[in-house]
Amino acid sequence: MTAFTIDQWIVLALVFLLGLVLGMIFMAGGKWKRRYRDEVHRREELEAENRRLQAEAQEIASLRNAATRSGHRPDSERGPL
């Protein structure tokens, strides 16, 4: 087996660089950008829902604490009449 010449190494390096450039061009297509945008949109929706649920939980907890401090018990906890 013979060793590569300088010209062959240069051609090999240029083909490799061309492959890298073409690969980056094809990977930057619309499919990947659309999937990324969909993922970002979904994450933002989930974060907004999480904030809403946390606010509701805090409101329920504050109402429960207020009811406990006032001595008010729901009908289900009062027992038989």
Per-residue pLDDT of the chain in tens (81 residues, 90 and over written 9): 678 899 999 999 999 999 999 988 887 777 778 888 999 999 999 999 999 999 999 999 999 998 888 876 666 666 565
- Using CA atoms, how far residue 56 sits from 37, 69, 74, in Å, is 29, 20, 20
- Using CA atoms, how far residue 13 sits from 18, 22, 51, in Å, is 9, 14, 53
Q: Which residues contact 67 (CB under 8 A, 6 or more apart)?
A: 73, 74
Phi-psi region of 79 (alpha: psi -120 to 50; beta: other; left: phi over 0): left
Enter the pTM of the model: 0.50
pLDDT at 26: 81
